[in-house]
């Protein structure tokens, strides 16, 4: 399976399609951190929110680079389950790369401060919260991007619609006044928690929520891929 | 491999492309899929490969290793021939050294050696088709599926296809080939599956019995005709007739011998 992961990552990088989402991500981060220095925990929470649609888009691009027939050839050689898993894993690896860029970026441009803030939280604790926020957003974004991929939607138009509705819906339903917050991945609740300083119980609930949401979408992906190859 | 009441359509309310197909293909057997354009030949092959799933019914006992050569090789990929085939060998589960050996063997056999460092989008259609053939053969397939394999290939490679099929059959594999140009006349031992209006009619190989004969036409230089006839007779073949100069090969005075290939048996 690692062979297929490598092949797909290589195709993603060599065709230059990796550039567009990376630039979009950097642009969003530039706007985010352009306003001055912030506490790491708070800033990283917002960074995970703006990165969520970028990571989903990046996943869709990565999965769509491969021609349909090549995807089927890989499926015949590796087996269906391995072919699906390899695509998701490649997207996860690429997403981790973007996440690392997002975590390092504010330190390079002076977007975060290393001084202890008024709430008395240490910089290390803030960074740890930021890593947690990004790691929760990544699988949810990969799952959404996978559901928007051409292998599932069959046409470019539907794919973009799924991606846009999913990303916008996740943000709108995640607002604190939302009527159905559980329908969305907890990217905005996580951002609010990192800003306020979450309790252990909050961290556990939000983690469980993100895992359950991602697992549900991935199950939907696997179910659709059983019929559509 | 068996097909049990297989139905397929592409959309929930779309027309049925295949209706209740019951077929079987044993080890060491080949079948040729025939039918007009767009009748569902490729669909049938993709069901066999496991690329499509039946809407109803099932395909069972599919060999573990399947090699599928699609009708058009997807050449729009940012790899060289060598890198692509090495990657596909690893995807097929071959180890590093094993994968390298398989790539070397098949690039040589299919005449792809000088294209090793060429990027896939730069290949001609026929050369790309050979890469498609190579990726299916890197790991010896228990089921080889060829979708119009002769399309775009040069004469040398066209001659090679029946040999490759024979090798898979001899190793106990099965082969499924689609063809709309009559090239499969070269596979006299294969069953005929005819697709029409969503139904598949299977017809056993016309000449499956060991008693069956085919006519092999030979061209030999005139001077050696008598000796050849004598040798063929000594080998147990039944020579039907010797006729005058055929058009080929140019420049050489030859004579044609029709020998009935009897696999060492006495003639009918």
Q: Do A3 and B74 touch (CB under 8 A)?
A: no
Beta-carbon count within 10 A of A195 CB: 18
- Find the mean pLDDT for residues B263-267: 43
State how far residue A34 is from chain B, nearest Cα, in angstroms.
37
Higher model confidence: residue A46 or residue B11?
A46
Among candidates B46, B76, B87 on the partner chain, residue whose Cβ is nearest the Cβ of A7: B87
Q: Determine which of A207-216, B84-93, B113-122, B221-230 has the lowest per-residue pLDDT on average.
A: B221-230
Beta-bridge mates of residue B80 = B119
Task: List Cβ neighbours of A165 (8 Å cut-off, separation of 6 or more).
Answer: none
Domain map (residue ranges) of chain B: 2-203, 214-261
Chain A CA closest to residue B86? A3
Task: List Cβ neighbours of B100 (8 Å cut-off, separation of 6 or more).
Answer: B86, B89
Contacts of A67 in chain B (CB under 8 A): 74, 76-77
Chain B CA closest to residue A66? B77
Is the separation of the CB atoms in B174 and B25 below 8 Å?
Answer: yes
- Find the mean pLDDT for residues A173-201: 89
Six-digit token string for B148: 């119009």
Q: Do B77 and A70 touch (CB under 8 A)?
A: yes
Is B12 near chain A, with CB under 8 Å? no
Chain A CA closest to residue B63? A76
Beta-bridge mates of residue B147 = B178
Q: Do B78 and A11 touch (CB under 8 A)?
A: yes
**Which residue reads 């599932």 in tokens?**
A152
CA atoms within 13 A on the CB side of A223: 7
Domain map (residue ranges) of chain A: 2-227
Torsion of CA B201, B205, B206, B210, to 10 degrees: -160
Mean pLDDT of chain B: 86
Q: Do B51 and A10 touch (CB under 8 A)?
A: no
Evaluate if residue B149 carries a pLDDT over 70: yes
- Name the strands in the sheet holding B66-69, side by side, starting at the edge strand that comes first in the sequence: B66-69, B143-147, B174-178, B30-34, B191-196, B199-203
Q: Which residues of A touch B (CB under 8 A)?
A: 3-4, 6-7, 10-11, 14-15, 66-70, 72-78, 80, 226-227, 229
Contacts of B93 in chain A (CB under 8 A): 77-78
B window 74-93, beta carbon within 8 A of A: 74, 76-79, 87-88, 90-93
The pLDDT-based confidence of A59 (bands split at 50, 70, 90) is: very high
**Domain B2-203: CATH architecture, name and number where available:** 3-Layer(aba) Sandwich (3.40)
The pLDDT-based confidence of B73 (bands split at 50, 70, 90) is: very high
pLDDT above 70: percentage of residues in chain B? 88
Category of A101 on φ-ψ map: left (φ > 0), alpha (ψ -120 to 50) or beta: alpha
Chain B CA closest to residue A70? B74
Predicted local confidence at residue A137, as pLDDT:
96
Q: What is the pLDDT of residues B17-32, one digit of tens each?
A: 999 999 999 999 999 9
Q: Do A75 and B70 touch (CB under 8 A)?
A: no
Predicted local confidence at residue B263, as pLDDT:
45
Q: Do A69 and B72 touch (CB under 8 A)?
A: yes
Predicted local confidence at residue B121, as pLDDT:
96
Q: Do B91 and A78 touch (CB under 8 A)?
A: yes
Contacts of A75 in chain B (CB under 8 A): 50-51
pLDDT above 90: percentage of residues in chain B? 52
Cα-based distances in Å from B216 to B44, B186, B189, B257, B259? 32, 11, 15, 8, 6
- By C-alpha distance, which of B246, B212, B88 is closest to A75? B88
Higher model confidence: residue B252 or residue B13?
B13
Beta-bridge mates of residue B220 = B255
Evaluate if residue A83 carries a pLDDT over 90: yes
Predicted local confidence at residue B257, as pLDDT:
65
Q: Do A3 and B67 touch (CB under 8 A)?
A: no
Contacts of B46 in chain A (CB under 8 A): 72
- By C-alpha distance, which of A151, A157, A141, A169 is closest to A57? A141
Higher model confidence: residue B182 or residue B164?
B164
Contacts of B78 in chain A (CB under 8 A): 10-11, 14-15
Among candidates A11, A68, A75 on the partner chain, residue whose Cβ is nearest the Cβ of B77: A11
Q: What is the DSSP string of B133-181?
A: HHHHHSS--SEEEEESTTTT--HHHHHHHHHHHHHHHHTT-EEEEE-SS
Q: Do A76 and B77 touch (CB under 8 A)?
A: no
Predicted local confidence at residue A210, as pLDDT:
95
pLDDT above 70: percentage of residues in chain A? 99
Predicted local confidence at residue B264, as pLDDT:
42
- Find the mean pLDDT for residues A177-182: 86
Q: What is the pLDDT of residues A87-133, one digit of tens each?
A: 999 999 999 999 999 999 999 988 888 777 777 778 888 899 999 99
Category of A67 on φ-ψ map: left (φ > 0), alpha (ψ -120 to 50) or beta: beta
Rounded to the nearest 10 degrees, what angle do helices A80-109 and A68-78 cross at?
A: 120
The pLDDT-based confidence of A169 (bands split at 50, 70, 90) is: very high
Chain A CA closest to residue B49? A76
Q: What is the pLDDT of residues B100-147, one digit of tens each?
A: 999 999 999 999 999 999 999 999 999 999 999 999 999 999 999 999
Is the separation of the CB atoms in A140 and A185 below 8 Å?
Answer: yes
Q: Determine which of A6-15, B63-72, B121-130, B197-206 has the lowest per-residue pLDDT on average.
A: B197-206
Mean pLDDT of chain A: 92
Mutate to test the interface with A, among B91, B94, B145 (most CBs of A within 10 A): B91
Higher model confidence: residue A69 or residue B221?
A69
State how far residue B157 is from chain A, nearest Cα, in angstroms.
22
As for the ipTM of the complex, it is 0.89
The pLDDT-based confidence of B38 (bands split at 50, 70, 90) is: confident
Chain A CA closest to residue B70? A69
Q: Select the highest-mean-pLDDT range: A62-76, A176-190, B158-172.
A: A62-76
Give me the long-range contacts of B92-97 (CB less than 8 A, separation at least 24): B92/A77, B92/A78, B92/B65, B92/B138, B92/B139, B93/A77, B93/A78, B93/B139, B94/B138, B94/B139
Predicted local confidence at residue A38, as pLDDT:
85
């Amino acid at each position: 399976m690692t062979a297929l992961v490598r092949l797909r990552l290589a195709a993603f990088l060599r065709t230059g399609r990796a550039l567009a989402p990376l630039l979009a991500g950097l642009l969003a981060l530039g706007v985010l951190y352009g306003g001055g220095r912030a506490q790491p925990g708070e800033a990283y929470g917002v960074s995970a929110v703006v990165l969520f649609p970028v990571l989903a888009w990046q996943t869709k691009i990565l999965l769509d680079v491969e021609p349909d027939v090549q995807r089927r050839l890989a499926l015949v050689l590796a087996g269906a389950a391995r072919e699906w898993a390899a695509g998701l894993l490649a997207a996860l690896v690429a997403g981790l790369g973007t996440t690392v860029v997002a975590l390092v970026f504010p330190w390079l441009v002076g977007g975060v401060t290393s001084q202890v803030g008024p709430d008395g939280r240490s910089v290390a604790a803030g960074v740890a919260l930021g890593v947690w926020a990004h790691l929760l957003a990544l699988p949810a974004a990969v799952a959404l991007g996978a559901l928007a991929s051409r292998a599932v939607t069959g046409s470019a138009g539907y794919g973009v619609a799924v991606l846009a509705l999913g990303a916008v819906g996740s943000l709108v339903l995640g607002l604190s006044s939302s009527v159905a917050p559980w329908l969305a991945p907890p990217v905005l609740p996580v951002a609010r928690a990192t800003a306020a300083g979450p309790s252990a119980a909050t961290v556990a609930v939000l983690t469980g929520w993100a895992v359950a949401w991602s697992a549900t979408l991935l199950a939907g992906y696997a179910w659709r891929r059983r019929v559509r190859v | 491999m068996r097909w049990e009441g297989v139905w397929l359509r592409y959309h929930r309310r779309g027309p049925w492309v295949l209706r209740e197909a019951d077929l079987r293909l044993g080890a060491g057997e080949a079948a040729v899929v025939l039918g007009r354009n767009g009748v569902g030949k490729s669909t049938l092959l993709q069901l066999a490969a496991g690329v499509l799933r039946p809407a109803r019914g099932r395909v069972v006992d599919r060999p573990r290793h399947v090699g599928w050569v699609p009708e058009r090789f997807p050449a729009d990929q940012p790899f060289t021939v060598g890198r692509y085939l090495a990657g596909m060998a690893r995807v097929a589960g071959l180890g590093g050294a094993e994968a390298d050996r398989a790539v070397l063997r098949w690039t040589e056999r299919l005449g792809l050696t000088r294209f090793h460092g060429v990027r896939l989008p730069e290949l001609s259609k026929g050369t790309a088709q050979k890469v498609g053939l190579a990726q299916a053969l890197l790991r010896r397939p228990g089921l080889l599926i060829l979708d119009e394999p002769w399309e775009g290939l040069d004469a040398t490679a066209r001659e090679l296809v029946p040999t490759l099929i024979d090798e898979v059959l001899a190793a106990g594999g099965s082969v499924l080939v689609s063809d709309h140009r009559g090239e499969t006349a070269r596979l006299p031992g294969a069953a005929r599956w005819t697709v029409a209006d969503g139904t598949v009619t299977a017809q056993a190989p016309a000449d499956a019995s060991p008693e069956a004969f085919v006519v092999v036409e030979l061209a030999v230089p005139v001077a050696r005709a008598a000796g050849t006839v004598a040798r063929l007779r000594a080998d147990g073949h039944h020579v039907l007739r010797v006729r005058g100069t055929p058009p080929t090969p140019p420049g050489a005075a030859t004579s044609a011998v029709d020998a009935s290939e009897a696999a060492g048996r006495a003639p009918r």
